[in-house]
Amino acid sequence: MKEILLGVNVDHIATLRQARGTNYPDPVYAASVAEHAGADGITVHLREDRRHIQDRDIYVLKQTLHSRMNFEMAVTDEMIDIACEVKPEFCCLVPEKREELTTEGGLDVVGQLEKVASAVAKLSQAGIKVSLFIDADKAQIDAALASKAPYIEIHTGHYADLTNEEEQLAELERLTQGIKYAHGLGIKVNAGHGLNYFNVKPIAAIEEIIELNIGHAIIARAAIDGLDKAVRDMKNLMLEARS
């Protein structure tokens, strides 16, 4: 069987922390648990609005990770400077809109090739492997090749959002063709976004994919699976206080 890697995105551990401004739950600790459970890498998205992951998380993770960091970032001077200072193993360039709930589409490499290629060059110069988060679109894949990024991450969000089986199969076929096309050009291909316990298998079966990055579904599952113990522990503390 051909190996496939799992990058665990811990953004939403940080979402929970930021909701109360506490210092827990800590994405650094979550990353360590994920690595212990078999994660091949840890993904973090330092958004410009700092809604979940904070700068401190990136710097501490750099020192504590045993696997490798995939630093997702918008193509801005601020983020390029941070990446060049931290030097994560991977940077994934993503599109970002302040008002979006999550990343809505792939990076438009065609429309800003010069800017993207310049970012790829700066990050590569710092020894970072660069990936572009793009849609499975031939023109975007060709532009990714022209930018000299060695990796792309194909956006699976649209596939994940579809509920009609026929439409989902058609989207799966579109993703598969795009992934094979990029692989044929010599680009290393990852994929991710919106993948969960119900929709992951057909994507994981596409053998040209090196790694899947998955976050929201894993953190959501962890919250539910851990809830029984969390309630028992709290109740026990309360009962102990009265004994």
Ligand X SMILES: NCC(=O)COP(=O)(O)O
Write out the binding residues: 9, 11-12, 20, 47, 52, 102, 194, 215-216
- Residue nearer to ligand X on the CB measure, 33 or 234: 33
Q: What minimum distance in Å lies between the beta carbon of 61 and ligand DXP? A: 15
Is 166 noted as a catalytic residue in this protein? no
If the CB atoms of residues 6 and 125 are measured against ligand X, the closer one turns out to be 6
In angstroms, how far apart are the furthest CA atoms of the chain? 70
72 assigned to active site:
yes
Nearer to ligand X, 176 or 199 (CB): 199
Using a 10 angstrom Cβ sphere, with 0-12 exposed, 13-18 middle and 19 or more buried, the burial of residue 118 is middle
Binding partner at 147 among ligand DXP, ligand X, none, C-beta below 5 to 8 Å by kind: none
Residue 50 dihedral angles phi and psi, to the nearest 5°: 55, 40
Site map (CB under 6 A) of ligand DXP, residues 126-145, x = contact: -------x------------
* Separation between Cα atoms, residue 109 and residue 25, nearest integer Å: 35
Work out the number of other CB atoms within 10 angstroms of the CB of residue 140: 23
Q: Is 152 in the site for ligand X (CB under 6 A)?
A: no
90 binds, among ligand X, ligand DXP, none (CB under 5 to 8 A by kind): none
Q: Long-range contacts made by residues 184-190, C-beta under 8 angstroms, separation at least 24?
A: 185/141, 185/142, 185/145, 186/145, 187/141, 187/144, 187/145, 187/149, 187/150, 187/151, 187/152, 188/150, 188/151, 188/152, 189/151, 189/152, 189/153, 189/154, 190/7, 190/131, 190/151, 190/152, 190/153, 190/154
Give residue 175's Cα distance to chain centre: 18
214 contact, one of ligand X, ligand DXP, none, CB 5-8 Å limit per kind:
ligand X
Cβ of residue 47: shortest distance to ligand DXP, in angstroms?
6
Shortest CA distance to 156 belongs to which of 220, 204, 87?
204
Chosen residue from 34, 172, 195, 203 binding ligand X by CB under 6 A: 195
Q: Does 213 bind ligand X (CB under 6 A)?
A: yes
Catalytic residue among 35, 72, 153, 171: 72
Residue 193 contacts ligand X per CB under 6 A: yes
Check if the beta carbon of residue 172 is closer than 8 Å to that of residue 205: no
Q: Is 9 in the site for ligand X (CB under 6 A)?
A: yes
Interface residue list for ligand X (CB under 6 A): 9, 43, 153, 192-195, 213-217
Interface residue list for ligand DXP (CB under 6 A): 9, 11, 45, 47, 72, 94, 102-103, 133, 192-193, 215
Query: Which residues are designated catalytic?
Result: 45, 72, 193
